[in-house]
Amino acid sequence: MLAILAPGQGSQTPGMLTAWLEDAELKNLLTSYSSAINLDLERLGTVADADEIKDTANAQPLIVAASLLSAHALGSDVNASFVAGHSVGEIAAAALAGTITQLDAMKLVHLRGQEMARAAALSPAGMAAVLGGERSVVLAAIKELGLVAANDNGAGQIVAAGNLDALSQLAPDGARVRALAVAGAFHTPFMEPAVAPLRAMAAEIKTSAAKVAVISNRDGAVVRDGREVLDRIINQIANPVRWDLCMETLRAQGVTGVIELAPGGTLAGLIKRAAPEIEQLALKSPADIAAAREFAARHGKA
């Protein structure tokens, strides 16, 4: 049984679309995305530097575009049973499931990036990855400092978010803390100002029942109603991502293989550590397409 995964913010790298755009069909598809949101995704994905694509307003649409392009290159005949995305990757997953169109996904992620960047500018806040340590000890230390476990990623990785001074004091026993190069405290109440504009846009987007079941970041639930998928995506902007529960669902549902779309690697790595019985493949470049199709044929439903 196969699942397709879409990565989240932080997975972007300079030039990550260059190889994909050697294909004229993919280049035309990206042009349609750029036109829909009035943002030059080709430039961002080929020549923009690391600082420019780290900007939330640029990073989010760029990452979703990369996932959609790589999914298109993989082919529509891939028989996945589930899709899931980490944070902003949920928007790509929703489009791949058929609950929203790809152009609506790009419009939604463009506004999401802009509004989250605006919310982040309202007060100094940030995020830090806590690696290792006893889970209960790590969560207690985060709570004690008034921080939020914004991403519970499983595999011994929890991302804390909140006030910068509090983050500087975070030092759970037995764990390493690494500050993340992000502009705000995503998936916390700091992002609440971004919710209303996104909810207003979402209300105007037509949704359809999922053709492929979606695993939700909120609680790992399997969701098929298109409106519920979209509502959950909006609500997650200011609430924690429970990727640990998504991985538990993959295991409980009997998934045997996962393909992580471009710019892939992070989610495949988490699954390798948390659920090594599930085979993983990261689709990082067009050179991986043949292997990904063979992988999908082995794990996909008949």
Out of 86, 110, 187, 299, pick the active-site residue.
187
Q: Is 208 a catalytic residue?
A: no
Neighbours of 297 (CB within 10 A): 12
Q: List Cβ<8 Å contacts ≥24 apart for 215-219.
A: 215/3, 215/82, 215/83, 215/84, 215/246, 215/249, 215/250, 216/84, 216/90, 216/246, 217/84, 217/85, 217/86, 217/87, 217/90, 217/241, 217/242, 217/243, 217/246, 218/242, 219/245
Out of 87, 110, 216, 299, pick the active-site residue.
87
Q: Is 187 a catalytic residue?
A: yes
Whole-number Å distance between alpha carbons of 200 and 262: 29
Whole-number Å distance between alpha carbons of 289 and 25: 15
SS (H, E, C) 26-56: HHHHHHHHHHHHCCCHHHHHHCCCHHHHHCH
Active site residues: 87, 187
